[in-house]
Amino acid sequence: MITPDIPKKVEQLIKDAGISAMIYQTLMESITEYYYKGIDNIEAQLQINFETVNPRVLNFIKEYNFNLIKDMNTELANKLRDSLSRNMMTGDRKNMVSEIKNIFDTTTERAKMIARTETARAYAMGEMVGANQAKARGINTKKYWLTAKDDRVCPTCVGLGNKYTQNKAIDIDKDFISPDGKFRGLTYPSHPHCRCTVVYTVV
């Protein structure tokens, strides 16, 4: 028998465990690390040392990802509440356990996806900030899109890779626009799990 107070107890358990806080802290550490790695990469490519990066850019990334994690945790609580409410009607404990396990497994996978995608985005933004600092110093820098060149590359990224090649590099302050109209932005990733990169080159 599933008692009516179980949903509240489970939601309180989630809150007490600080699931979103733990995910957020781990993600922020990775994002900060990869953001500065991106800057270091451009420094190495262009053989130049940059000044301290404007902290407002990093704060923007942190706030953006905080919202992602907050939304994910709210979604987790809602799914658990719905599952418990359904199973309370039947008292089916076995089905309830199975559903809850599936919800947590799905949330864990989504957290991993967010981590992979957003650390890549942080690295890309670090590169972009470095390239812009180079431009401010009078170094004429352009960029182009590079895909993994295998059968796992999505049509959007294939289009970007074909459109923005080394010979068709664009100014660093211009957007990449995919031929299929599904992506527009200054740098990668173009979608979750994107394995592309943007290459900066001095002309």
When pLDDT is cut at 50, 70 and 90, the band that residue 54 belongs to is low
Q: Which two three-digit tokens encode residue 4?
A: 């009516």
Residues 96 and 119 occupy one common structural domain: yes
Asked which of 35-39, 78-82, 152-156 is least confident by mean pLDDT, the reply is 78-82
pLDDT confidence of residue 91:
67
Closest CA to 97 of 6, 200, 193: 6
Considering 138, 153, 181, which residue would you say is the last residue of a domain? 138
pLDDT confidence of residue 64:
66
Q: How many domains does the chain have?
A: 2
Residues 146 and 187 occupy one common structural domain: yes
pLDDT confidence of residue 1:
44
Residues 152 and 64 occupy one common structural domain: no
Distance CA 3, CA 91 (A): 9
Residues 75 and 160 occupy one common structural domain: no
Which pTM value belongs to this model?
0.70
* 176 three-class SS: strand
pLDDT confidence of residue 118:
81
Q: Which two three-digit tokens encode residue 82?
A: 């719905």
Query: Which residue range forms the structural domain that includes residue 67?
Result: 1-138
Residues 201 and 121 occupy one common structural domain: no
Residues 125 and 102 occupy one common structural domain: yes
Residues 111 and 200 occupy one common structural domain: no
Residue 46 has pLDDT above 90, yes or no: no
Q: Summarize pLDDT for 84-138 with one digit per residue, the tens.
A: 777 766 666 677 777 877 877 777 777 777 778 888 888 898 888 888 888 888 8
Residues 133 and 147 occupy one common structural domain: no
Residues 91 and 170 occupy one common structural domain: no
Residues 114 and 103 occupy one common structural domain: yes
pLDDT confidence of residue 32:
80
Residues 80 and 118 occupy one common structural domain: yes
Considering 138, 170, 190, which residue would you say is the last residue of a domain? 138
Q: Summarize pLDDT for 146-192 with one digit per residue, the tens.
A: 998 888 999 999 999 999 999 999 999 999 999 999 999 999 999 88
Considering 138, 156, 189, which residue would you say is the last residue of a domain? 138
**Cβ-contact 185, 129 below 8 angstroms:** no
Residues 134 and 45 occupy one common structural domain: yes
Beta-strand pair 141-146/176-177: unpaired
Residue 13 has pLDDT above 60, yes or no: no
Longest C-alpha distance within the chain, in Å?
72
